Amino acid sequence: MCRLLGYATAGFDLSLHAILGSQAVGEYRALSQIHNDGWGASLLSNPVERAHLSDGGAPSPETGTRVYRSTLAAELDPVFDQITEEPARGALFHLRLASSNLPLILENQQPFFANGLSFIHNGDISDEQGRNIVTLQDSPVNEKVFLSTGGRSDSAMFFGAVLEYIGFGFPLDEALAQAVRELRQICPKSSYNCMVQSQDQLIVLCAAGHDETASRVIEVYNRYGRGGKVRDYRVIRYRALSDENGDPAGVVAASSGFPQDPADGWTPLKNNEMLIASNRTGRFRLRSL
């Protein structure tokens, strides 16, 4: 049960501070007082060295991915300021509230990264009896694929399902859609809100199993005196970016929890709706799950 944030630009590098402003970044970070089970980020950048250069190992990449994960809460981690000031043409940020008491270990911190994809998820994937999907005897995901995510959680299982469908030849957006359809046969009421980033795309999915917020989440927010911020817990909103000339320059999307005023262009994704953005052109489109 986490807070998600991601953006894609029209091929140029911007920091999270440049996109949201320092106040909004600070309010997002403050959510880690509650979502205090670690945090992480994944940023895309163009390496300084020439792409495809053979140097005795793997050829140098066209796009570099920097992944940072910590078991510290973001509000306590001094690296947070540095990373949110780093320019990137696309990035994901994740604040974790561990689901179903899964352990606070680095392997379960997000973003997960495998096969050139970064993945973050907000949800507790459990069946009708409350059993987390990783504890079920019959796993819906091949064990080798699951282990390739580097994680041990329900979110890693979700990512593994996406990777399997990519292996079957589906494009990224349809692989994500197929993974949700499969997992919903086992855990129909779970939340599959997530973001996936490749070197070309940002995909944002709103796929909540139900509108109401889980009682456990309400209890946690009430404990911190922030019960008023939990009503739209499962909502994901997006805002188009523009350059100094007013031309389209990308998109930013985020879970709720910090100010996202419709007057500033923030628009909620519908449930079972997906945003697909290019981090090279900044153009994006919507599709149903």
Asked whether residue 127 is domain-assigned, the answer is no
Q: Which domain holds residue 252?
A: 3-47+58-121+170-175+193-288
Output 228 or 223, whichever has higher pLDDT.
223
- The pLDDT score that the predictor gives to residue 232 is 84
- The pLDDT score that the predictor gives to residue 31 is 93
The answer to whether the beta carbons of residues 237 and 5 sit under 8 Å apart is no
Asked whether residue 140 is domain-assigned, the answer is no
Render pLDDT for 126-172 as a digit per residue (tens, 0 to 9).
888 888 888 887 888 888 898 899 888 899 999 999 999 999 999 99
SS3 assignment for the chain = CCEEEEEEECCCCECHHHHHCHHHHHHHHHHHHCCCCCEEEEEEECCCCCCCCCCCCCCCCCCEEEEEEECCCHHHCCHHHHHHCCCECEEEEEECCCHHHCCCCHHHCCCEEECCEEEEEECCCECCCCCEHHHCCCCCCCHHHHHHCCCCCHHHHHHHHHHHHHHCCCCHHHHHHHHHHHHHCCCCCCCCEEEEECCCEEEEEECCCCCCCCHHHHHHHHHCCCHHHCCCCCCEEEEEEECCCCCEEEEEEEECCCCCCHHHCCEECCCCEEEEEECCCCCEEEEEC
Render pLDDT for 48-103 as a digit per residue (tens, 0 to 9).
666 666 776 777 666 789 999 999 999 999 999 999 999 999 999 999 987 666 67
**Closest-CA residue to 69 (of 14, 151, 133):** 151
Asked whether residue 160 is domain-assigned, the answer is no
Asked whether residue 91 is domain-assigned, the answer is yes
Asked whether residue 114 is domain-assigned, the answer is yes
Asked whether residue 117 is domain-assigned, the answer is yes
Asked whether residue 181 is domain-assigned, the answer is no
Q: What percent of the chain has pLDDT over 90?
A: 64
Q: How many domains does the chain have?
A: 1
Q: What is the CATH number of the domain that holds 260?
A: 3.60.20.10
pTM, two decimals, is 0.93
Asked whether residue 52 is domain-assigned, the answer is no
